[in-house]
Each structure stands twice: as C-alpha cells, then as structure tokens.
Amino acid sequence: MTAPKTRALLGVLLAAAGRAVTRSALCEELWGARQPPSADKTLQLYISRLRRVLGDPRGTRLVTVPFGYRLAVRPGELDAHRFDDLAARGHRALEAGEHAAAVRALEAALRLWRGPMWAGLEHVPALAAESMRWEERRLEVQDRYFDAVLGTGGHRDVLPRIRAAVRDDPLRESTWARLLLALHRDGRSTEALRAYAAARRRFAEELGAEPGPELRRIHQRLLAESAGAEPVCQLPPPVADFVGRRVELTELRRGVGGAGPLLVTGPPGAGKTALAVQVAHAARADFPGAQLHADLRGCRGRPADPAKVLGGFLRALGVAEPPSSLGERAAEFRARLADRRALVVLDDAADEAQVRPLLPGAGPCAALITSRSRLGGLEGVRRWELDVLPADDAGELINRVAGGARPRDVTALVRCCGRLPLALRIVGARLATGTRSAARLAEDLAPEEHRLDGLVIGDLNVRTRLASSYRRLGPQARRAFRCVGALGAEPVPAGRVAAALGVDAARARQYLDELVAVHLVEPVGTPSAVRFRMHELIRFYAREVALAEVAAARGGHLASAR
C-alpha cells in the first residue's frame, strides 16, 4: 500500500463526515477508470491497514456497513465542524448588529485554517471538489469577518488583511468592495476611487466584463460624496486660554472613536464644554468625513428639539429637504454617516431621550457628549467624570485670563473660587478689567453670603449656572438640595438627611440619588458607608435658595394675615 493511497482513502472517508461510502465509490476515487481487477480485494487490504494506523483493530472506528465503510466522527472532533459552528455563531452576531462578538467568532473560525484543504490530494475527484467548496466557504466567512471589523470601526487595522486578500484573489469582487469601503472610512476616498479603477481594469482584461452591481453601487456612492460637498466642520473655535487637563485631554483623545459614545460629565462650571471642544479639535484629522456640533441647551431654557438638530445635521451633509419625522431623520442621518469617518459633538445634553436619536449608527463614526447629568440610562456610554482643577492649574487659569494684569499671588482667589473653572475664569476676567487688585477682589469675595454676587462678569455667572440645574429638579429633590446645603460643609450620611427631611432613609436616598445624577452633590466614602457633600459654591447657592424659600413662605403668611 502506498502512502498517497492511504491518505486518499482516509480523506474520502473523512470528507463523508460519518456517512457511509460504498466500496465502488471508494474504488472510483482511488483508481478512477483504470481500476485493477483486484481493486475490491486491494481496497479491503487498505481498509485493514488503515484500521491499524488508526489503532482500530476491531473496526469500531472504521466501521464496515452493507456495501461499504463508514468512519465514525465524534461531535467537535473535526476542524471543519468547529469552523462551521463558529462561522454560524459569527453570522448570527453580525445579523444582530453585535459586531464585536461577530469579530471574535469569525476570527476564531479563520484561525483554524492552516492552508488549502486536502493539499496533495487534488488528484482525487471527490476531494478536489470538496477543496473548492471549502475554499469558497472560507472566503465567504472572510468577507463576513471584514464586515464585522468594519462595523466596529476597525477599518485601519483590517486594511492590510483586505489588501492581502485582494492580492490572493484579484478577481473576487466582494473583497474589492470591502477594500473600497475600508479606504473610504479611513478618509482615503481618492485612493478608494483608484482601487475601483484598478479592479475594473483587471476584470476587463481577464474576464472581459464590467464590475458587478455591488462594486458599481459603492463606486457611485464614492463619486457622489467626493463631488458632494465641502468638508463639514461645525466645531466652535478652541479655547485660546485653555489650561491644564493634560491627563483628561490625553485619555479622551485616545478614547474618541472607541466602542460607544464618550460622555464628559461633571458639575456646573467644571469646564466640560471647553474640554470637549479641545478634544474634538485635536481629533479632527482622524475624522475627515465631518465634524458635527450641536448645543443641546440641556440646562439653559428649553432643551433643543432633537428633530431640529437632525435637520441641521442633514442639511450640512447635503440633504436639501430632510424627512419630516424624528425617526426618519435619525435613520437618514445614520445612513449618511455609515461610510463617513465623522465626529459628532453633542454639548450640554439634557437627557437620554434627547441624545439617542443624534448618535451615529454602526460604522467609523464617534460621538462626544457633555452633560451635567450622568445619563445613566444611555446604552454603551463610556463616562469621564470631570472635577475641579488642581490648585496650580487653577492659579494658572486665573493668570492666563487676566492677561497683562497677572497678579503675583492668586492663592486667596483660588480658594474663594473652590478651584471651579467657571469661577476662576470670571475672577481672571475681572482682574483683566483693572478695576480691582487681586488682594481687593479676594477681600470682596471672602464673605460667604456675598460670594456668588462677585462671581459674575458679562454673561458668565456662577449663580445662573447653578440655578439652571436647580430648576430641573423635582420638588422633593429641591427640598433635599436645600437641606444638604443647610447641614454644613462636612459630608453627611443619608440618615441625617432623612431625619432633617422627616422621611425614611430609602426615600432620602432616592432624592440624594437624583442630586448625584446631576452633580449637585457628590458621594464620598465606600458604598457601605457613603456620605454626601457639596462643592462650597453649590452649598452657598443651596443656602441662598433655602433662605429665599423661608422668606417667600413668611411673605405669604403676612399677606394672609393682612
């Protein structure tokens, strides 16, 4: 028995995957039309020797059946079966839009391949046909893998692999289509158009045919968008006197474009907008498709209508007459961004319902959101909690804004501002006017009961910012806010707040959670021993509104008495 015949026999039995193969079929595969007279007896000899190789002298593995033989295969024993299972799992995840899960399953399936199936046995007709079928199956799974990676925004990482696939099979149209999409999503539309021209030449030279409908459709879209229109950049100008936040800038810049929206959240006046704008400008080169921006006015007057925001976005993207309904506009918006590498900046978001329709869908886009709310119900969001500035950066911000009026010592001013960026900016601007020295301004701001009066210049006003958050609270949360402000500067436990409000601990925690969600109070300590504190400027405002409530109540009583 020759080794090729042994391998061929084993290959044919394995290809049947546990099904019976007749003796005549086996002889046909081994010898073709030139079967020797002793083919049937020689086959029995090969079967016997193959059983010895398999350690199966009793024939429980290589089983004799009527008219033939069957090689018993256990579930999961063959790489081919594992490949099929992983490919099916990846396809289901891809259909469900779960791109990361699809990538993991399809990548695991493709790792099982170490070369052509049945290599060296191409002369066996059944195995040659099986090899072709499995290679086509592998290429289909490879296409789905590329789709899954592109769905996660990983076009840059997968580009070399797509190029290699095109080199290996330059007449496979579906791989060219993925190459065009990956190049386009990486902002290389001109290179994508050149790739289409190369594919078209190849097809004409070797097949005498034009590209098929899928490739032509992608090409037409690239042409329309390239001729379409000017690059869209709606970002506000970066803050010229921006100070500090080096760690935040680095981490957020690295995080933009990752999986899920990126949320910068924090108390009123913490500098969320300024930071987001700086990050967006730093990331512009990574998002050449568009940089869209909307002020959602979440805490200023009436929050922006998401349908109107989408109308503005769509017009900027070249849609002359956006659809009428919110749902249709959201769908059109996501379709327009599906193959663009775009950045969407949503500033001062009110709540989850306002944000959801404005988020791009699957593809290479990114969303950067700012909000005083933690937006706890927003799916897949990555949060960055912004705090006050370190003392050195706080002093530098005052001096940077003060310009030529930079004082030598701003320690007292930094302390009066509680290191809150909005307050620091106001103090710097007041110094720049030249009407107060740093020492005199610190003296004016020292009394707690009048401090908020001094933290205003032009349209920058700490009290107004705090009031806008207070107005959005429910009646009981407002009462809890005033109560926490009245309990002093030290962090307080929920039980003490409950006692002051005259409610049980669970109800007090509910009110406190509402305040925590919008950063009007902050939890400190461990979950089992949590306490709640206020930034001092927020506490001063809480005390103000508490006194105003008392005065209003007394005024009502006096009016009733009269």
Determine the average pLDDT of the residues in 344-355: 93
Summarize pLDDT for 265-292 with one digit per residue, the tens: 999 999 999 999 999 998 887 888 789 9
pLDDT of 202 higher than 50 = yes
pLDDT reported for residue 119: 63
Per-residue pLDDT at 1: 40
Euclidean distance between CA atoms 165 and 331, whole angstroms: 33
Which tens digit of pLDDT belongs to each residue from 47-92?
A: 777 787 777 777 777 777 888 888 787 776 777 788 888 888 888 8
CB 397 within 8 A of CB 244: yes
Number of helices (H) and strands (E) in the chain: give both, helices first. Answer: 25, 13
Q: Which two tokens stand for residue 68?
A: 């033939």
Confidence of residue 20 (pLDDT cuts 50, 70, 90): confident
pLDDT digit string, tens, across residues 440-456: 888 889 888 889 998 99
Task: Give residue-wise pLDDT tens across range 244-273.
Answer: 888 988 889 888 877 778 999 999 999 999
pLDDT at position 553 over 50:
yes
User: CA-to-CA distance for 146 and 182, rounded, in angstroms?
Assistant: 9
User: What number is the average pLDDT over the span 343-371?
Assistant: 89
Torsion angle of the four alpha carbons 40, 42, 44, 45, in this order, in degrees rounded to the nearest 10: 170
Overall average pLDDT of the 153-173 stretch: 88
Contacts 24+ apart (CB under 8 A), 530-535: 530/493, 530/494, 531/491, 531/492, 531/493, 532/484, 532/491, 532/492, 532/493, 532/494, 532/497, 533/489, 533/490, 533/491, 533/492, 534/484, 534/485, 535/267, 535/388, 535/418, 535/420
pLDDT for the residue numbered 120? 64
The per-residue pLDDT for 559 is 40
Lowest mean pLDDT among 48-57, 165-174, 348-357: 48-57
**Which of the two residues, 432 and 73, has the higher pLDDT score?**
432
pLDDT of residue 556: 55
pLDDT in tens, 88-123: 888 888 887 788 888 999 999 888 887 776 666 667
Q: Is the pLDDT of residue 413 over 80?
A: yes
* Choice between 167 and 226, residue whose per-residue pLDDT is larger: 167
- Residue-level pLDDT at 264: 94
Cα gap 422→269, rounded to integer Å:
5
Q: How far apart are CA 283 and CA 235, in angstroms?
A: 11
pLDDT tens per residue, range 323-345: 888 988 898 888 888 767 889 99
pLDDT band at 317 (very low <50, low <70, confident <90, very high): confident
How distant, in Å, are the alpha carbons of 240, 275, 283, 365, 428 from that of 236?
A: 12, 12, 14, 19, 22
Please report which confidence band the pLDDT of residue 551 belongs to, taking 50, 70 and 90 as the band edges.
confident
CA dist 415 → 240, 412, 489 (Å): 24, 5, 15
Distance CA 539, CA 545 (A): 10
**Mean of per-residue pLDDT scores for the chain:** 84
How much of the chain, in percent, has pLDDT values that exceed 90? 23
Distances (CA, A) of 361 to 94, 311, 465: 14, 17, 33
Percent of the chain whose predicted confidence (pLDDT) is above 70: 94
Task: Kindly report which listed range (63-72, 178-187, 305-314, 467-476) carries the lowest average pLDDT score.
Answer: 63-72
Tell whether the model's pLDDT for residue 346 goes beyond 90: yes
Reported pTM: 0.61
> Residue 229 pLDDT more than 70?
no
Looking at residue 560, what is its pLDDT?
A: 35
pLDDT of 137: 85
Q: Give the helix/strand (H/E) hosting 254.
A: helix 246-255
